[in-house]
Structure 1
Amino acid sequence: MNSQYHKNTIAENGFTVINRIFSDNEIQRISEVIRNTDSSKETFRKSEDLFAIRQFLKEIPGLRDLIFNEKMKTVIRERFGDRYFVVKSIYFDKPETSNWYVAYHQDLTISVDQKKPMEGFGPWTARQSRFAVQPPLDILENIYTIRIHLDDTDENNGALKVVPGSHAKGIYRPETIDWSKETEEICPVEKGGIMIMKPLILHASNRTTNGNRRRVIHIEFSERELPAGLNWAEKMVIEN
């Protein structure tokens, strides 16, 4: 893993892909733990097109050591630094016949422990005692996302499409994309690989067309503490 290459690529393009972070055996063990978890909780979302688990690492704490193996901890330390901690985690399972697609967007909200109006934060949303808010731009710019792929993923089963460099343009409304100036890139990732991205990069995904499943663990990291009285909903320090 060429850490400087990936750091430069993330800074310039807003994303990078690193394959072979997890072995087939590690992916199998992670998959088994997820499969054997009680899915009746309110943080589990089930439909014909999508299965999702919010606050994933809180709901299945037994996965932490499997997910943060030595390769992952090295990636985090070398690409982000020693001060980064988990602030959000979600699991997505896009079934083989899924018609679920996601239009171009930026990830503009963070998960927090309460609603506390303060300058620069808003709009707010609340659902089932979970709170999300759009924070000031500098907080969003500090976040990195790692997407762990439990299946081979390409353009036929929902690999992300991105607009390279769009993470550096602040709040970028998708309806204003000028395709005469911007380009679209599809980001295939092998089973056991990861995609690192900045949440401000414009990204989207298509419906599944090849009958292949797509399972992804989405984890966000920051090194920033929030203003007094407001805390990350899922803060988790990674043990060295």
Structure 2
Amino acid sequence: MNGFKKNGFAILNDFYSPQEVSEMVLAIENAMSNRPTFRRSNDLFAIRQVLKEIPQLIKLVLDEKLKKLITATFGENYFVSKSIYFDKPGNSNWFVAYHQDLTISVRDKVLTNGFGPYTKKQDQFAVQPPVAFLEKNFTVRIHLDHTDESNGALRVIPASHLAGIRRMEQVDNMSTEQFCCVNEGGIMLMHPLLFHASGKSTAAQSRRVLHIEFSNQELPAGLHWSERINYQ
């Protein structure tokens, strides 16, 4: 996985079998709800804290293969710090401009040196931590559909995570932009400081993704992760 350290992302296709993907999809479909963490529009269906809302997903997602990969690539003592399910329907106009993932999810708003500013979405607090926190975190994106340029595959700027927190206009290697096409059952590992974006969908094919963030760091006194799952 040297490519991850250099480029800020890596793609592993055929990580989950078709049967495993089907079981994940079935668990999500059976849990569709009107709770505050479930957000639905014509262009997007999302579930925040999806592993808490649908706990049967935990054993399906955090299987021995993924645990071994995480340990071999990043080391011990990691835990889930955030999970979201995204369903981008076919022909969706929803898009996300280039950005870095600069916040973590916490239970309450607590004024803490080095942490801020805060935001709040659907009763969920998010705060920007010191950059040292972000540099050790990573994300696993599990693709439940084949994803390519036509249905909103991520675009990334390889190695853009190496210079810390920046504004988009400070990125000088835009010519290296790459589409991250991932097969159904494949996963994408991503550094939070990697600049990434997602375009509108031009095909009828949905793009369903489980976005799982991991950390190995304890928060200062008074702050608590809003969604911590110790799986090891």
TM range, smaller chain: over 0.9
Q: Distance in 2 between matches of 1:100 and 1:44?
A: 17
2:216 equivalent among 183, 204, 223:
223
- C-alpha contact 2:154 2:180 (8 A) present in aligned 1: yes
The 3-state SS of whatever aligns with 2:213 is strand
Q: Distance in 1 between matches of 2:196 and 2:188?
A: 12
- Aligned-pair distance for 1:210? 2.0
The 3-state SS of whatever aligns with 1:169 is coil
The 3-state SS of whatever aligns with 1:166 is coil
1:54 and 2:44 correspond? no
- C-alpha contact 1:166 1:172 (8 A) present in aligned 2: no
Residue 202 of structure 1 is matched in structure 2 by: 195
Q: Distance in 2 between matches of 1:224 and 1:141?
A: 11
1:89 and 2:89 correspond? no
Residue 103 of structure 2 is matched in structure 1 by: 109
* TM-score w.r.t. length of structure 1: 0.93
1:25 and 2:19 correspond? yes
- Aligned-pair distance for 1:79? 1.1
Letter in 1 for 2:22: Q
Q: Distance in 2 between matches of 1:36 and 1:182?
A: 43
| Count of aligned pairs between the two proteins | 232
- C-alpha contact 2:13 2:186 (8 A) present in aligned 1: yes
Q: Distance in 1 between matches of 2:171 and 2:182?
A: 25
Letter in 2 for 1:231: H
Residue 35 of structure 1 is matched in structure 2 by: 29
Q: Distance in 2 between matches of 1:136 and 1:113?
A: 18
- After superposition, the C-alpha distances for 1:128-174 in whole angstroms (9 at most, x for unaligned) are 43211001000011111000000000111111100011111111211
Residue 122 of structure 1 is matched in structure 2 by: 116
- C-alpha contact 2:160 2:171 (8 A) present in aligned 1: no
- C-alpha contact 2:84 2:211 (8 A) present in aligned 1: yes
Q: Distance in 2 between matches of 1:22 and 1:101?
A: 27
- After superposition, the C-alpha distances for 1:164-190 in whole angstroms (9 at most, x for unaligned) are 1111111121133335x6520111111
Letter in 2 for 1:78: A
- Aligned-pair distance for 1:37? 0.5
Q: What is the 5 A alignment of 1:54-203?
A: 54-179=48-173, 182-203=175-196
Q: Distance in 1 between matches of 2:188 and 2:121?
A: 28
Q: Distance in 1 between matches of 2:51 and 2:35?
A: 14
Specify whether residues 103 and 82 from structure 1 end up closer, same or farther in structure 2 by C-alpha distance, changes over 3 A only. same
Residue 238 of structure 1 is matched in structure 2 by: 231
- C-alpha contact 2:91 2:151 (8 A) present in aligned 1: no
Q: Distance in 2 between matches of 1:130 and 1:153?
A: 28
Structure 2: runs of 5 or more not aligned: none
* Identity of matched residues, %: 55
**RMSD, matched Cα:** 1.2
Q: Distance in 2 between matches of 1:59 and 1:96?
A: 25
Q: Distance in 1 between matches of 2:18 and 2:32?
A: 24
Q: Tell me which moved more, 136-145 or 73-82.
A: 73-82
Letter in 1 for 2:110: K
